[in-house]
Amino acid sequence: MKIELIELYEVQVPLVTPFRTSFGTMHSKDTFLLHVVADGADGWSEFAGDPEPLYCSEFIAAAEIVLAEHLVPRVLALPEVTAAAVGPATAAVKGHPMAKAALETALLDAELRAHGMAIGTFLGAVRDRVPAGVSVGIKDTIPSLLDDVEGYLAAGYQRITCAGSTSSTCCSSSSRWTRTTCSATPSSRSGCALRSAWTSRSPARGTPPPRSSCGPAA
């Protein structure tokens, strides 16, 4: 693939309801989106970590640094950039699996879009719908918790996890780097300047992309 642009957007997405755990109460999901343009196609991914290293060791600021200074430069130095090559190219960088996954996923998305292939097809999906679950935050009373659980079950969620419960399931059925912050609301998209950009030369696209390391385990 020929990488035309890689940029990073910080976003703050309001939650439908506050989510309370033992770490505190979240009113929004603060993270960043990685955007890749390759062979004329756009690829997107979301960093899965949090602003602070309280739940796991990775966090937003560290991921931004390791992407800018270590992961992206290694990938752009490849003679041919593909999503499948991200793992081997970044293996020397210890840890940071979420940051690596964000880069690989954005590249894979662009790669598949360039070839008109759906991610489900690439992963060998045999259905177009899968059961979904939801996590319920800590509530002040048992009745309010049960009310929330009842509502989610009625909405069709088949697995419900409760934050703070003793059981995992309480119910089941070289870059330019400038800071920019975006805010997103359910009803509109917010425009923002690009946070970072790289350019590189690589061979033109060839055959459809090989299966990458982010595919399902055998």
List the chain domain ranges: 3-123+174-197, 133-172
Token readout for 170 is 């309480």
Token readout for 114 is 């360039």
CATH 1.10.287.3510 fits 3-123+174-197, yes or no: no
- Model confidence at 215: pLDDT above 70: no
Query: How many of the other CB atoms lie within 10 Å of CB of 179?
Result: 10
Per-residue pLDDT, averaged over 69-78, amounts to 96
Report the predicted TM-score, pTM, of the whole model to 2 decimal places. 0.72
DSSP state of 134: E
Q: What percent of the chain has pLDDT over 70?
A: 75
Between 218 and 88, name the one with better pLDDT.
Answer: 88
Query: How many of the other CB atoms lie within 10 Å of CB of 39?
Result: 17
The pLDDT assigned to 129 comes to 85
The pLDDT assigned to 11 comes to 95
Mean pLDDT (the chain, rounded) = 79
Per-residue pLDDT, averaged over 59-66, amounts to 97
Among 10-14, 73-77, 121-125, 165-169, name the one with the lowest average pLDDT: 165-169
- Model confidence at 128: pLDDT above 90: no
Is the separation of the CB atoms in 1 and 107 below 8 Å? yes
Pure H helices in 91-169: 97-114, 119-122, 142-154
pLDDT digits (tens, 9 = 90+) for 148-179: 999 999 998 988 888 754 343 344 333 333 33
Between 58 and 190, name the one with better pLDDT.
Answer: 58
Query: How many of the other CB atoms lie within 10 Å of CB of 69?
Result: 13
pLDDT digits (tens, 9 = 90+) for 28-59: 999 999 999 998 999 999 999 999 998 899 99
